[in-house]
Amino acid sequence: MSAYQFQTSNKDLEWSLEAINQRKRAVEFVMAFESQLCVYSASVEQFYTNYTINFTGADASTMVILPNPYAFHDTYHGIEGASIRDTGLHIVPGDIIGKSGLFVMVTYKDKKVRPAPIPLKHAIKKMLNSQHGEDPFLPLLIKGDLREFDAQMPCLHLHRVKLSELTLMSDFDKKSIQSAISDKLSDLYKVSDSLTF
């Protein structure tokens, strides 16, 4: 089975970009995060740390995530869908707020509360600091997380996996998952200053 055949059997890893207006910019934006953030597939209860991002169609209307078929140790199994949570966090280009660099926007359910921008590096540092607590913040992406913020700028919405909700998993396996995502976060922290749009 080729990597692409594997991919087409998993629709969670095929993301439509039809609803995105500034598609070229969205493509450039998401490529900066290729294999920097883990990607989750609900249908097979797995997440991937090692993958490539590809685009199909003349206008790049579909984004295809291809896990590395030779890196089985970079695929994590048994991740129950109930453990995946929405965070309300979006990684956005700074020019949406008139600044350079990347920011994390915190959006609230209460629409009266305005989103608060945090520089990406500061946000990642907070996530890394949470690794020592009882509820580590472990971000990942799911289908549909590449979108537009206020229908004008590309952004990446973040989900997270809650270790406490992985009820069928051993503590050893939970630690392995935490380590894999924390390592990705550490790598992203190191390069976050160089990511500009």
Task: Enumerate the domain spans of the chain.
Answer: 3-194
The whole-chain average pLDDT of the chain stands at 89
Comparing CA positions, the residue from 49, 11, 16, 9 lying closest to residue 140 is 49
Question: Cα 56 to the chain's mean position, in Å?
Answer: 20
Our CA dihedral for 78, 186, 137, 119, rounded to 10 degrees, sits at -140
List, for residues 23-46, the tens digit of each pLDDT value: 889 999 999 999 999 999 999 999
Element (H, E) at 8: helix 3-8
> Hey, what amino acid is at 157?
H
Give the pLDDT of residue 111.
66
Give the pLDDT of residue 5.
43
pLDDT band at 114 (very low <50, low <70, confident <90, very high): confident
Q: With beta carbons less than 8 A apart as the criterion, state whether 3 and 66 touch.
A: yes
Answer yes or no: is pLDDT of 120 > 80.
yes
CA–CA distance from 77 to each of 38, 41, 45, 86, 130 (Å)? 13, 10, 6, 20, 23
Give the pLDDT of residue 9.
66
Our CA dihedral for 117, 85, 175, 44, rounded to 10 degrees, sits at -130
